[in-house]
Amino acid sequence: LHTGERHEGGGGILAERRPGLVPLFAKGGSAIPLLSADHKITSTDHMQTEPWQVHLCPGLDGEISTLYWDEGDGWEFQGGQFARLLL
């Protein structure tokens, strides 16, 4: 994730660990919501007011990701109360 390097899969990967970063792999076509490392989060309520970024991991064939976003505190998403972003 940190380098943007692509791997075909089906084999092993030797990943060098860099200070402060955990090796993280994502499937092509994924969208990963991230909070800035500069912000301390002490509860899920606090997350609602912090800025987010979405890291896109493009797929080989132009796969499109879908990100669903809801209030995070109930079941209203089952009734369609959520934002759906096609990325």
- What distance in Å separates the CA atoms of residue 11 and residue 33, rounded to the nearest whole number? 27
Q: Average of pLDDT values for 22-35?
A: 84
Tell me, what DSSP letter sits at residue 16? P
- What distance in Å separates the CA atoms of residue 75 and residue 73, rounded to the nearest whole number? 7
pLDDT at residue number 10: 81
pLDDT at 28 exceeding the cut of 80:
yes
* φ, ψ of residue 53 in degrees (nearest 5): -125, 155
Reported as a pLDDT band with limits 50, 70 and 90, residue 80 is confident
68 in Cβ contact with 84 (< 8 Å):
yes
